[in-house]
Each structure stands twice: as structure tokens, then as C-alpha cells.
Structure 1
Amino acid sequence: MVSLHFLFFVFILNNIGGARPAKILMVFDKPGTSHYNDAVDIALQLYDRGHNITFLVPRVHQDDITVKEHLDTFSFIFTHFQKEDVDFFQASDKTITKWESLEMFMMPYRVILFVAEMYSNLTVDLLTDTRMSDEIATTQFDFVLFEGSFVWYHSLMRTLKIPYGVLTTSADISTSNIWFNAPSDCVTLPNILLEVVTVDLTSFAWRTRNCVGAAVGYMFYHVLVESHVASGTAEYSEEVRVGPITSFGQADVWLANVDFSTDITRPYLPATCLVGGLSIEDTNTLDQEYQRIINESGEHGILVVTMGTVVQAVSQEKTDKMAAAFARLPQTVVWKETSPRPTITANNIIIKPWIPQKALFANPKTRAVLFHGGNNGAFEALYCGLPIIAVPIYADQFDVSYRISSSGMGLTLDHNQMTDESLYQTITEVINNPRYRERAQHLSAVYRHNPSPAKERAAFWIEYVLRHGGNKLRKARISQMGFIEKNMIDVYLTLAFLLVVFLYFMKKIIVGLLRTLFKVVTETKM
């Protein structure tokens, strides 16, 4: 017979040790990318705490190596997204070489409309995937976490009617604060892809440019995307008809992959948790080959070069220019293989299809890192106190590069204008000028002064929502308001009306007094 003491002990473990095992759905449909890897880092943390994790990914990725390596750990539900849809997202990423806000403003309306319609079509595809819906309904998930940029998944959140969270996998922008229902100020919060390194944030030109960019982003998401998705899903139910921007604000928790050590200071709501650096790990182990490379580099050390996992936009000409610049350096260059490979490589250049990036970053003989501006790489360099040379290629890489460069950790080069001479001079400046390393080490100390690692903080807040059945006390009430109430339009119109009435009667009174005064003066003179 089981003793009462044993049962009491089990009860204590279940109720004090953490949240009870839950079924969690992770919606990240680009396996192999840094965004997907961030979700995996959180999922592994939750799995270690006893939760059951399921990933929702397109069927075209079911044979991906990043999916196969976790088949024993996670469950998977595959959607019927066509390969053309997935290829469009990847191709559109590579097409955008520098998507700044003013350039976005000048894009043809039909292109923007096409993207909005695509979001709507993908939403309808999800709602009509009955096989996927039945599998999700049968599992009865307790919580859903999905990537913020995948707006077509918001309809799925509405149909499940369970607590959900959003993970933003790149630096936040002024429009993000509107999504969070947090205060948004164009004076201090840069919009996406606006350079903040060499400009005066208080200048009239920058504030005007930032305001225009924020307005374009607001119109795109709130007018086009919101209306298209809402109209495309209207036939299903009133819950689904709510657009994605409304769903953003109603999320139970926002996990933002940013940190105050490098980001612009901004107001956040209580439901927002900063989890910048999800990919960071303490690892210093190098195999014999890389340890030999480190030892043979001598007093000059090494330069680590990595251009990410999905970047294919580096041309042969640019690759050769990079190799020519590296050949002039006294450092040994450890270069993660790029496509295409450089035509000629010097003796100090070592190209590998894979490199132990985190361990190389942590090695004291690493002098700097040259990378594409990926958010994960930026945080790994920050954690190790490494100065950076950023060469962004597309999408939010510009945004990440500008922000971390503006913090004083390094310099950013324009990929389109880069020459072998400019690259050589930039690398030499960052490595030889001690202020970049000193600044990087200072910010590293600031970042490390967190009570717990980013992935543990993310898991904590997800379990917080699970334990309390939501996060109502931390949600902003503004998320429950309509457009008129949220923007105080009715209040402003009422005040304007009262002001007009007040001015009207004041005019009447003043005119009446003047007439009376004129009449009295006239009668006195007579």
C-alpha cells in the first residue's frame, strides 16, 4: 500500500516544482533558419521541463535535417503548403537587397497589394486544411507559440481559442509598439531598416523620414493586410474574421528577441519579455584541428567570417573582393564556406563548410567577427565581447547591423558599395582600434548581468501563462478597444466640437459687448 507521505511528496513536486506537463504547439515554418532554431532552443528548454512539444511545419520540409534530428524529441504536424508558396518567401527575401522605408514607400501599390493578398490566401489555405485542423483539434493543445512575421497563422490562433504567444525573431521597430499596443513615438523609435549609426536622431530630416516609414508600415499592416485577411476569412466565423494586427495585441505573452544593451530604449508592456540571445551557449571546446589553427595564428589571432545559413546573394565578384581584402590581413581568416567560393585564396584563409562558431567566438584569440547581420550572430558576438564588421545582404540584417554598430561595437559596410580596399580598411580599423573591443566587452558585461539565460526566461513566461490559464492581468486593456476608442477619435471630436461651440459663443459675447460699448460711446458723444 502506498504511504500517505509518498503521495504528499508527489503532490508537492507536481504543484511546486513547476507548471504541470502541457501540450505546446510551435508554429515556425522555415526549418534550418535562425528563426526556427530560436524556437527549437525554447522548445528544448520546455521539453526538459516535462512538456510535450509539437511543431507545425510545411510538408515540403518533412525531410529537412533540422526536422529529422528532433523526431525523437518533438512531434510534428505537416501542413499542405505548396512548395511554390515556401519558395516565394525565400525568393522574396533574396530579392530585397536594401528595403529601406522610403524605398518601401516608393514601391508600386500593386506589389504591396499582391503581398497583402498572398497573406490572405495563405490564411484561407490554413483554414481549409481540414486534415491539419482535425489533428490539432484532436491533440487539444494548451498553448501556441508562433513567429510574429507569419501573420497568416493568426486565424489559426483564433480558431483554437487557447492562450498563445508571439516570438519576434529580429530587432523591434516603431510599428512593433503599435502591435504590442505600447506607446509608439516616431521621435525616438527608429522604423525598420533606418540607419541609426551616422545620423542625428534629433534632426528634422531623420524624424521626417522615420515618420513617413512608420506611416507606410502602419498603412500596409493595418489597412491592407488587416482588411484583406479579415475579408478573406469572413465566411468562417466572427472569431477568425479578426485581423492579424488585432490578434497581435491580444497575445498572452510577447517574447522579443532583443535586449536593452544594444536596442534603442523603448517602452514595453508587462506582457512583453525580452529574450535576446536565445542561441547563446557557453561552449569553449574546440577539436584538435581548430585548436591547431588557433595556436598557429600567433599573436595576430583569427578573424571569423560567417555569412549565415540562407544567404545566397553574395556574387562571385563580391566574394573575390572579400578574399582579396582578407589576403592582406596578418590574421588567420576562418571563413564559413560561401557560395560561390572565391577564385583565389591566400595562405591565411581557411574555408570550411561548417565552423564551430560559438566556440570560436568565445576563444580569446578571436580578434573580430565579420558577418551578415543576423540577429543570433549579433547576440553571440555581444555575449563574447567581440567587435564586429557587419555586411548586411537583405531584409532585417540591415536593421540588426545598424543597431549593433550604433552601440559602438563595430562598423557596418554597404554590401553594394563594398570594395576590397574599403573592406580591408574597415577590418583593420575595428581590429586595431581598442575602443571597439572595449565597448563590446562593456556591453557584454551589461548583457550578462541578467538573472537567467534568455531561453530560461522564455520558458518561464510560457509556463507562467500555462499555470494561470492566460495572462489577463498583464494585457493592456487597449487591446480590447476599437480603432476609434484606441486613438481617442471620439474624445478629440467631442473636444473639438466643444471648442467650436465655446468659440462661437465667445464670439457672440464679444461682438455683443463691442456693439454695446460702441452704442454707449456714440450716445455719450451725442
Structure 2
Amino acid sequence: MSVFVCGWLQFPVCHSESMGSIPGVSLLLLAVSVSLLTSPSVQGGKILVFPVDGSHWVNMNLLIQSLHARGHEVTVVRTATSWYVKENAPHYHSITVTLPEAINIEEQDFFVTFLVKMLTIQKEGASLIGFVKFYWEMLGALSKIHQQASMLGVEIFENKTLMQSIRDTQFDMVLLDPGLPVGILVAHELKLPTVYNVRWITSGEGHFVVAPSPTSYVPTSGNAVSDKMTFGQRVKNTFYYAFNTFIDKFVVCPHYDRLVSRYFPDQKFYHLLQGADIWLMRVDFVFEFPRPTMPNIAYIGGFQCKPSKPLSSELEDFVQSSGEHGFILMSLGTLVKGLPIEITSEIAAAFAKLPQKVIWRHAGERPNNLGNNTLLLEWMPQNDLLGHPKIKAFVAHGGTNGIYESIYHGVPIVGIPLLFDQFENVLRMEARGAAKVVDATKITWQNFLETIQEVLHNPSYRNSMKRLSALHRDKPMHPLDTAVYWVEFVIRHKGASHLRTESYKMPWYAYYSVDVICFLTAVLFTLIAIVVGSIRFLCFRLCRRRKPKQE
């Protein structure tokens, strides 16, 4: 059996201080044996994985490690320029494909450069020119990324030796991140079931192509609103939905449509995209607003979360030196290494006025006004610091991984959203009373200091986050175990077509019952016409009969 997978995994292990009595150990071994014998199992499968580089790979790698630990053989498809997905790893084999040019997101300075451009445009204000410039930059970069990614499909399909090697391996399934969906075409060529490790697809949030998504209360990708929208917000939400559909159809999908028409002329790209067996959705409704769903969606939001480990002696000493004030953690994630110096200097000045210690993941130019209470690190154990009892707040950009780790450990957030879905993520946390948001382009040391102090001293933020943490942890199964279960389910049953609706194959007018509405409308008008015509005919006859009598 074969499974293609991408990811990173670690299992938290609890160690008891003593083995206890021999009968206790025997009972424990008996319980474990019974559990192993009665739980669904699958013979080690072969999984083919198509990941997306950057922070997405952190999630995928975790899942791959878990599958490897369960005895599955994992093979990851990567490009020669990938900077996160390594060619050699103990828990997966790799297939390296050389592209004519590197995919932009695989260049380490791409997101830094992109962020600087976006911040410059945003500072010019909400003028029409600024709006057009912002989206022109974004759409150009988006089209380029997908054009480069589509070449991965060409390189694979045109390499007959590689394709034959993949066929000979006899994979059982394909696991992929549909943010760059080339793996979907390879899975179709191999006639293999597919599992998505997903939140984002080509058109935005994954639910929008697999589940009903009424724009009346489901916020559209890119629109930072809650599910309780005013009339004006609903109009704006519908506009965003139409705009996202336009971008997907005319900016992103043409690159993959050309691939499909070249290698599968009888298929449509979007049908292949929507035809996945299982969607492992990186969403938890403790964080996400309630919305319609489908039976082939399994929710694994926060599957990367785990208990914290002890800090190094140097970090522990620094944290303990904070005394009763505790410490604040700041990180902008894995993609953006640093903000422009004028912004970081304002942040540093605000930190310097706090009694708390600050640990700041920062790899850019050293900010001015840095206080003695602030420690700059190029890397830090974020999860372990978030789980430390002395932490008071987390200053974050709003990436999904950091959000879920904050929820898991119950740490309130000061949000500085910078790119993409980060604005929506921090809005969701703010709507639940667990975060306070500041605009990166308008940061001054005064307003940033006020925001931090409000989160530190108003207990409602921490209480709200503690409540979310309790809800998030209260599950019958850890989200990572859920993800592994559904991957193995697909291997055992060679797919999960019984959970997948075929509605995506319907033409749009049939899906929305436009043809039915038109037919019923026509029937109604026909009946009305018959009734009106009959009444007019009877009236005409009656009038003709009365006229001679009067004469």
C-alpha cells in the first residue's frame, strides 16, 4: 500500500515518575494491548505528499512524522529550491524536481519584500489609487506564484522515467496541501484517493468550494468581519465573494486549466479540485465562526498544539528574573523575519516602558529605543514559552499556528496583522474578547503601550482566552489523532466516495436550481395566462350575449 504525505509531527509523551506496583503495570499493559487489538488498524501504507513551503510545511511535517511513527512509508515531492522541505529526513523519502525558475514563496526574502511593498501602499491611505496599487501588486505576485507552481506538473508529467517510478511504487493515496494544487493532477493520473491538509485553496478559504457558504453570515476570505453583519457589511461581503471568484477564475485557475486541458482534455480543473475524498480542515469552531459543513470534512484545528517543555537554563533564568510581573512574548511567525525599522523602534520604545520582561523573535535590523528588559532572539521555542506559567501576553501577527498555540495555552493576544488571512484571524479573536488589535501602519509607542497595558491589566482578555482554551481541549480525540485516523480510513477503504457529494459536477444553473425556478415560473405564468385568458373569453362571450337582448 502507498501513501504520499507532507508534514511535521511530534507526539507529547507523558512520563510517570515511578512504575508503581507490578499488578498495576500488568493492568496497564493489558489495557494497552486490548486498545491496540480493538482499534481500527491499517497495514503500513505508502503515501505520496505534495506540500506547500513555509509555515504550511510546519503543519504538514507534523502530520508526516505521525504517519511515519504509525508505520507508513511517506514520500514527499519537493522542488530543488525549497528552503523548508529538506531533501533528506528520517521520517520521509523525497522526490526532488528541478523547475525552470524557483517558486516565489520558496525564496526566503519574498515575504519580507512583499510586506514592505504592502505597508508602503497602505500608508498612502484608502484612496482609489492606493487600493488599485495594492491589488495590482498582490494579483501580479499571485499569478506568478501559480504560474511557477504549475510548471511542477509539467516537469513531472514530461519526465516519463519519474512517472513510471511513481507508478511502480504503487502508492495508496495522495496527501496534499491544495494551496498549490499540482498534486491533484498527479493523483488523478495515478487514480489514487486524495486527502487534503487544508485551510486555504486557490480561491481562498477551503469551505467555499466544498460546503454551502451563504454570504449573509459566512465571512468571505479577505473580509475581516464577524458572522453578525450589518446590511452594509453583507453588501461588502457579497462583493468580496464575487471579487475572489473573479480572481480565481481569471488570475489563478488559467494556469491549472492549461495543465488539465493538456493532459486530461475531458476533465475540468475545478472538478478535480472539489473531488477530494477527505478534507482535513485546519479549523476549530472555538476559533472559526459557525457555518455549514459536509460529511467529508474532518476538523483538526490546533493539531500542532502540545504541552510545553522546560526552557533552556538561559531562557529560564531570564523569565524568572521578571519576578511577579511575568513576561511578554513577541513573534511574527516563520515567513516575515522583521518589520521596517521605523515600526520596530516604536514597538521597542513601548516595551522599554513596561515592568515585564520581553522575549522578541527578531532577525532584522536591531530596533532603536531597545530597553534592558527586552531580549532579541533569532529563534525561540514558541510553544514552550507560551506554556510557561509566567507568560502574560503574546504579541503576534495573527498566523494560524500562533493563534491556536495561544488558545491551547490560554494566552491573550495583542495582534499586529500584516498579510493575507492574519486580519481575519485576529478579528475572530477580538470578537471573542481574547485579543486587541493594532494597525501596523499606525503604530506609535503611545498607542502600542496603551494596547499592551489594556490586555495585561484587564482580566477579561485572559479569562476569555482561558474559556476558549477549555473548549478547545475538551475533545474526545486529539486533532492530530483525528487527522491520522482519516488518512488511515482512506487507505483501508481505498477512498471515501460515500462521504463526498457529487454536486460539484452539476452545472451552476442546476446547483442553484435556476432551471427549476425558471420552469416553475413558466408554469405559473402559463397557468395565470390560461386563467386570465379564460376569464376574458367568458367575459367576451357574456358581453356578446347581452348585447342582442338590449337591442
Pairwise same-fold verdict (TM > 0.5): yes
Q: Give, as a single letter, the amino acid of the residue that structure 1 aligns with 2:114.
A: T
Preserved contact between residue 168 and residue 255 of structure 1 (Cα < 8 Å) = yes
Preserved contact between residue 275 and residue 454 of structure 1 (Cα < 8 Å) = yes
- 2:164 equivalent in structure 1: 134
| Fraction of identical pairs, as percent | 26
- 1:196 equivalent in structure 2: 225
- 2:388 equivalent in structure 1: 363
The runs of 4+ residues in structure 1 deviating greater than 6 Å are 12-15, 112-116, 171-174
Counterpart check, 1:457 vs 2:482: yes
Gaps of 5+ in 2: 1-32, 123-127
1:17 CA drift (Å): 5.7
Preserved contact between residue 178 and residue 184 of structure 1 (Cα < 8 Å) = yes
Counterpart check, 1:41 vs 2:62: yes
Change (3 A) 1:456 1:516: same
Match of residue 325, structure 1, among 329, 350, 356: 350
Preserved contact between residue 393 and residue 456 of structure 2 (Cα < 8 Å) = yes
- Taking the aligned partners of 1:148 and 1:286, their CA distance within structure 2 comes to 36
- 1:421 equivalent in structure 2: 446
Match of residue 20, structure 1, among 28, 32, 43: 43
Describe how 1:278-357 pairs up with structure 2 within 5 A: 278-312=303-337, 314-357=339-382
1:335 CA drift (Å): 0.8
Counterpart check, 1:187 vs 2:188: no
Preserved contact between residue 194 and residue 276 of structure 2 (Cα < 8 Å) = yes
Match of residue 185, structure 2, among 151, 155, 163: 155
- 1:51 equivalent in structure 2: 72
- 2:20 equivalent in structure 1: none
Q: RCO (CA 8 Å, sep 6+): is it higher in 1 or 2?
A: 1
SS of equivalent to 2:86:
helix
Counterpart check, 1:75 vs 2:102: no
Aligned residues: 505
1:83 CA drift (Å): 4.0
- 1:242 equivalent in structure 2: 268
SS of equivalent to 1:184:
coil
Change (3 A) 1:520 1:480: same
1:120 CA drift (Å): 5.3
**Alpha-carbon displacement from aligned partner over 1:364-412 (angstroms, at most 9, x marks no partner):** 2100100111100000000001100111111222222222222211112
- 1:7 equivalent in structure 2: none
Bigger Cα displacement from structure 2, 500-509 vs 205-214: 500-509
- Taking the aligned partners of 1:512 and 1:416, their CA distance within structure 2 comes to 74
- Taking the aligned partners of 1:59 and 1:113, their CA distance within structure 2 comes to 21
- Taking the aligned partners of 1:469 and 1:361, their CA distance within structure 2 comes to 40
RMSD: 3.1
Preserved contact between residue 174 and residue 186 of structure 1 (Cα < 8 Å) = no
1:421 CA drift (Å): 1.4
Preserved contact between residue 171 and residue 399 of structure 1 (Cα < 8 Å) = no
**Alpha-carbon displacement from aligned partner over 1:114-152 (angstroms, at most 9, x marks no partner):** 677666555444433445423322322111111121133
Counterpart check, 1:84 vs 2:111: no
Preserved contact between residue 327 and residue 358 of structure 2 (Cα < 8 Å) = yes
Describe how 1:166-181 pairs up with structure 2 within 5 A: 166-169=196-199, 176-180=206-210
Gaps of 5+ in 1: 1-9
Q: Give, as a single letter, the amino acid of the residue that structure 2 aligns with 1:195.
A: A
- Taking the aligned partners of 2:60 and 2:374, their CA distance within structure 1 comes to 34
Preserved contact between residue 373 and residue 401 of structure 1 (Cα < 8 Å) = yes
1:232 CA drift (Å): 4.0
Change (3 A) 1:147 1:350: same
1:485 CA drift (Å): 3.0
The alignment's TM-score, normalised by the length of structure 2, stands at 0.83
- 2:9 equivalent in structure 1: none
- 2:289 equivalent in structure 1: 264
- Taking the aligned partners of 1:89 and 1:354, their CA distance within structure 2 comes to 19
1:95 CA drift (Å): 2.5
Change (3 A) 1:216 1:247: same
- Taking the aligned partners of 2:202 and 2:231, their CA distance within structure 1 comes to 23
Q: Give, as a single letter, the amino acid of the residue that structure 1 aligns with 2:359.
A: V
Change (3 A) 1:15 1:366: closer
Counterpart check, 1:60 vs 2:60: no
- Taking the aligned partners of 2:206 and 2:69, their CA distance within structure 1 comes to 31
- 2:430 equivalent in structure 1: 405
Match of residue 421, structure 2, among 372, 396, 405: 396
The alignment's TM-score, normalised by the length of structure 1, stands at 0.87
SS of equivalent to 1:421:
helix
Describe how 1:425-504 pairs up with structure 2 within 5 A: 425-504=450-529
Bigger Cα displacement from structure 2, 344-353 vs 494-503: 494-503
